[in-house]
Amino acid sequence: MDLHILDHRLRVTSISKNGLVNYTYPLIKLIFLRNRTRCKFFSLTETPENYTVVLDEEGFKELQPSEHLQVESSIWLPLNVVSNGNVSSSLQAVGVTKIAKSVIGPLAQQHVSVFMLSTYQTDFILVREKDLSVVISTLEEEFNIYKEVEGESVPVRSQDVSNGLQKNAIQPTVHPVLIPQNQFCVMSLDPDTLPSIATTLIDVLFYSNRFPADLLFTSSSGELWRMVRIGGQPLGFDECGIVAQISQPLADGDISAYYISTFSFDHALVSQTSWH
């Protein structure tokens, strides 16, 4: 399998619920007017606590500092697992389950903290730029590792294979979990259809707190997902092993799961059919 280090230098930020009004201008630009910005990676996750915005440095320039914006100090790099030259398809279990044993477990053993962003198509594993050499050393046994540089995939090898790799058994903190009653849809949207639903999405994002029942660009299966929120207190960014702790048992059971980290908490989405 191949592991690609994508050519984005990302910032992880949080906008407070009250502060959204002040960030409507840049967010609409980043979401709906892609040709007005040089931002190439953008993710927005709303939770009851805040909005987590992950975006590259070009996009980050659009966010004016304010009391409503929190910024994690590191640069994060997104990793992407590609099997047989294709982005992992969904024939088998999807999401973090596929990469739990090969990526997430080994990184946790090396005390590398990861920030997960599952999407409909693929899973982005964000690691801190400063951890990159440990990441490469850890994963190069199992993966061919490529760094995307201006559209080219350049093979990379560890600079120094003996740079202090540990094989520690991780003893992660056990965090409380919250399981809300909500059911979730996981959708994918063709960018060309974005303009046609812009007012609806703007309404949902900025002016409403409920998703209208008639706006469902659902996956063809119409599958519904239940969520497990991890963390009773905000998790922070330094603890490692949380994703591993959740994804290992799911992988053992071959249960598909999406995993979405946010500024304060982690979230695993598990298909309702494999819920019990």
Tokens representing residue 167 in the block: 């094989």
Region near a copy of itself per CB under 8 A, out of 28-36, 104-112, 165-173, 245-253: 28-36
Nearest approach, Cβ of residue 9 and a copy of itself (Å): 24
Comparison of 17 and 29: residue with beta carbon closer to a copy of itself = 29
Helix (H) or strand (E) holding 202: helix 198-202
Rounded Cα distance, 269 and 35, in Å: 32
Comparison of 195 and 234: residue with beta carbon closer to a copy of itself = 195
What residues between 194 and 233 interact with a copy of itself by CB under 8 A? 194-196, 198-200, 202-203, 206-208
Interaction of residue 22 with a copy of itself, rule CB under 8 A = yes
The footprint of a copy of itself on this chain (CB under 8 A) covers a number of residues equal to 21
**Contact (CB, 8 A) for 28 and 21:** no
Rounded Cα distance, 230 and 226, in Å: 13
Nearest approach, Cβ of residue 206 and a copy of itself (Å): 7
Region near a copy of itself per CB under 8 A, out of 3-11, 25-33, 77-85, 160-168: 25-33
Q: Which residues pair with 13 in a beta bridge?
A: 53, 71
Rounded Cα distance, 237 and 240, in Å: 8
Nearest approach, Cβ of residue 68 and a copy of itself (Å): 13
Helix (H) or strand (E) holding 27: helix 24-32
**Contact (CB, 8 A) for 228 and 246:** yes
Interaction of residue 65 with a copy of itself, rule CB under 8 A = no
Comparison of 36 and 157: residue with beta carbon closer to a copy of itself = 36
Interaction of residue 21 with a copy of itself, rule CB under 8 A = yes
* Residue keyed to tokens 């790799």: 165
**Contacts (Cβ under 8 Å, ≥6 apart) of 83:** 1, 2, 89
Nearest approach, Cβ of residue 94 and a copy of itself (Å): 31
Nearest approach, Cβ of residue 200 and a copy of itself (Å): 7
Q: What is the DSSP letter of 248?
A: H
Within the chain, what is the greatest distance between any pair of CA atoms?
56
Q: Which of 7, 16, 17, 29 binds a copy of itself (CB under 8 A)?
A: 29
Interface residues toward a copy of itself, by CB under 8 A: 20-22, 24-25, 28-29, 32-33, 36, 194-196, 198-200, 202-203, 206-208
